[in-house]
Amino acid sequence: MNRRVVYTRGGSPAGVLTVIGEPEPTPGPGQVLIRTTAFPVHPGDLQAVEAYP
């Protein structure tokens, strides 16, 4: 199960970010599936969530 963090409106990240699960994709012919175990959160991403100009 893959997880991703989404938001549908601006605001405080703690109040508007939601973690959702989705099925793992199946690679097609000539494609590979790369498993990611962690990723950083850039301060600019949080500013975008907060509707920072």
- Structural domain contains residue 19: yes
Residue 38 pLDDT > 80, yes or no?
yes
pLDDT of residue 1: 84
Mean pLDDT of 29-41: 93
Residues in the chain: 53
24 in Cβ contact with 33 (< 8 Å)? yes
Structure tokens at 28: 């097609």
Average pLDDT over residues 23-51: 93
- Give the number of domains in the chain: 1
> Has residue 15 been placed in a domain?
yes
> Is 14 inside a domain boundary?
yes
Name the residue range of residue 17's domain. Answer: 1-23+41-53
pLDDT above 80: residue 37: yes
**39 exposure class (CB count in 10 Å sphere: 0-12, 13-18, 19+):** exposed
The answer to whether residue 16 is domain-embedded is yes
Give the percent of the chain with pLDDT over 70: 96
